[in-house]
Amino acid sequence: MTDPRDGGFPVWQPGEHSPPPPHGAFGPAAYPFGPAPYAQPPWQPPLPPARKRRRGLAAVLIVVGVLTVGVAVLWVRYPTLLGGTVLNRDAVERDVAAQFREREGVAVRLGCPTRMTLTTGAAYSCTGTTDKGETVRLRITITDAQKATYTWSEP
């Protein structure tokens, strides 16, 4: 029942189940466009922590590995590219084999180290086989690094 003296608000009558809200109390907000702007969203359980991805670390390791292999290949294929002057292995093998044939009277096939850095006093070991099937070991010693001169001898 409403009382016109209360401005049309319902008045509680004995025997009703629950009393009406007191005068001036607010009921649920009735906004036409969704919940009240001050209303809190319904509670949701927290999300599990985000899983860290290690793709960046794996990519960096792969790039470092590829670069390392690339530098190693360049160092073996082009020893002077990364610094230091070296003897030309093919020229040393050819020239020493020719001198050996003149001195010993027998041809030899030599194999010398790939990287023979020009440092005065440095020594390198070359091995080979003569036409008679004998194994030969020769020592190449750098005598002058500036002029790229060397001597060879049998140890």
54-94, pLDDT tens digit by residue?
677 888 899 999 999 988 887 777 655 655 678 889 999 99
Containing 94, the helix (H) or strand (E) segment is helix 89-104
> 70 phi and psi, to 5 degrees?
-60, -45
> 79 phi and psi, to 5 degrees?
-60, -30
What does the pLDDT average to over 136-148?
91
Type of residue at 16: E
Higher pLDDT pick, 92 / 29 = 92
DSSP state of 62: H
pLDDT attached to residue 58: 83
Rounded Cα–Cα distance for residues 101 and 131 (Å):
10
Rounded Cα–Cα distance for residues 4 and 58 (Å):
79
